[in-house]
Amino acid sequence: MRKALATKVIDGGLPVGWRWVRLDTVCEVRLGKMLSPASKVGYRAVSYLRNANVQWNRFDLTEIAEMDFTEEQEAALALRAGDLLVCEGGEPGRAAVWEGQVSRCCYQKALHRLRPINSAVDPYFVMYRLWQGALNGEFTESNGQTTIAHLPGIRLKTLKLAIPQVGEQQRIAGVLREQMTAVEKASTAAQARLEAAGRLRDAFMEQCFEEGGAAAWPRISMGEVCEIAAPQVDPNQAEFRDLPHVNGENLKPGTGELFNIKSAADDRMTSGKYLFEPGVVLYSKLRPYLRKATVGDFRGLCSADMYPIAFDTSRVDPHFALWVLLSRSFTDYAVSESQRARMPKLNRDQLFAWKFPTPSLAVQRRVVAVIQQRMHGVQRLASSLEEELQAINALPAAVLRLAFSGGS
């Protein structure tokens, strides 16, 4: 996939034939029109692009908005093929080259339009240079007046670029386009394999709850075999401040896994939290479609968006309960019940009303053993795929660094 991108540097300087330029000497830089209620009266509607429409090296045109532009505004802000659109905020520097995908289209103030002057630069070359800058954090530093990352026009205009002759720019941009396309295809394929591993995990688990004798398991209201009785405590007290703190952000969806656990003090908790004991099942009641739950095998604190559920261990194995709560049948029930609220949330009455399967403890433990064995294999596969995806997603930075470092 590797191709030569630039000639070798001499004495640590630029490659032969390259020079430094200020961006506004080779491109006209202009922000779009400010969006306001007064712009939407409908007297002269024109399509326009927003920040969300601009992705790296492509446009998401699934939803294009309209607002009013006067003839003068449209003449000044109309897009034409070869214009480079750059995000001012959100992900500052994110850019794509317009190729005339939509006729009669303008852009709003959240975007800068870079229009090459006298064909001095290739817009794709500039786009890849901005991509490198964004990956290096060049545009995310605060300007001292706000903590919100943004790329003001003055900073963009004064950006220094090292450029060769335009023909060489086009050659480099062409090579980069090929390489980035290959990276994107590899990333998409790896992501698909990772999603397939997730579906395999679900399929293995559902087999345990739907096949064999599972249909004949007795079912009772969940509230008959568990309770939520964790006391609320002050996380600032010495007894509790060093305990692990768990919230929904620490749970991997559908897996029962915890990650990135910190103490209440490290998480800077100040409001009351619930104290749970080892063996309690922690279930995230918000957005139950995310399927977030775990068995806490330690004493700790959890946030109010979680239910610390203590099961009657003479009737229910906590790990069996975990997989039941992560199962598709319970999730479907929880999603259906929680949709009645503005924020999807399963309340206690809804939780306790569900008909919980209660085979013998021996059967429960066999089910847990089978699920855990299968999940271990799937997790090893998923971990390998995650590492592959991370390596692939790191390639753009390496490719762009090579292209603009002056190496060969």
Which residues are CB-contacts of 202 (< 8 A; sequence separation ≥ 6)? 254, 328
pLDDT in tens, 304-333: 899 999 999 999 999 999 999 999 889 999
Q: Is residue 210 situated within a structural domain? A: no
Does the pLDDT of residue 144 top 70, yes or no?
Answer: no
Judgement on whether residues 245 and 116 belong to the same structural domain of the protein: no
Q: What whole-number percentage of the chain has pLDDT above 90?
A: 66
Boundary-marking domain end, from 315, 343, 358: 358
Judgement on whether residues 227 and 349 belong to the same structural domain of the protein: yes
Does the pLDDT of residue 92 top 60, yes or no?
Answer: yes
Nearest to 178 by CA among 7, 403, 1: 1
- Residue 63 is predicted with a pLDDT of 93
Can you read off the two tokens belonging to residue 213? 């004798």
Judgement on whether residues 242 and 309 belong to the same structural domain of the protein: yes
Boundary-marking domain end, from 335, 358, 381: 358
Can you read off the two tokens belonging to residue 375? 């999940």
- State the residue range of the domain holding 296: 218-358
Does the pLDDT of residue 206 top 90, yes or no?
Answer: no
Q: Is residue 121 situated within a structural domain? A: yes
| CATH number where 256 lies | 3.90.220.20
Judgement on whether residues 159 and 225 belong to the same structural domain of the protein: no
Which of 108-112, 138-142, 302-306, 351-355 comes out lowest in average pLDDT? 138-142
pLDDT in tens, 271-298: 999 999 999 999 999 999 999 999 999 9
Which of 293-307, 336-350, 354-368 comes out lowest in average pLDDT? 336-350
Do you know the residue count of the chain? 408
- Residue 307 is predicted with a pLDDT of 95
Nearest to 31 by CA among 161, 154, 158, 133: 154
Burial class of residue 191, CB neighbours in 10 A (0-12, 13-18, 19+): middle
Which of 141-145, 158-162, 284-288, 354-358 comes out lowest in average pLDDT? 141-145
Instruction: Please give the residue that has the higher pLDDT: either 10 or 14.
Output: 14
Q: How far apart are CA 69 and CA 38, in angstroms?
A: 11
Judgement on whether residues 23 and 159 belong to the same structural domain of the protein: yes
Judgement on whether residues 105 and 236 belong to the same structural domain of the protein: no
Judgement on whether residues 134 and 234 belong to the same structural domain of the protein: no
User: What's the whole-model pTM score?
Assistant: 0.67
Is beta strand 105-107 parallel, antiparallel or unpaired with respect to 45-49? parallel
pLDDT band at 17 (very low <50, low <70, confident <90, very high): confident
pLDDT band at 201 (very low <50, low <70, confident <90, very high): confident
Does the pLDDT of residue 358 top 90, yes or no?
Answer: yes
Q: How far apart are CA 79 and CA 48, in angstroms?
A: 9
- Residue 141 is predicted with a pLDDT of 60
Q: Is residue 13 situated within a structural domain? A: no
Q: How far apart are CA 404 and CA 79, in angstroms?
A: 28
Q: Is residue 345 situated within a structural domain? A: yes
Boundary-marking domain end, from 141, 163, 185: 163
Judgement on whether residues 158 and 224 belong to the same structural domain of the protein: no
Q: How many domains does the chain have?
A: 2
Q: Is residue 209 situated within a structural domain? A: no
Q: Is residue 291 situated within a structural domain? A: yes
Does the pLDDT of residue 118 top 80, yes or no?
Answer: yes
Judgement on whether residues 158 and 26 belong to the same structural domain of the protein: yes
Judgement on whether residues 270 and 333 belong to the same structural domain of the protein: yes
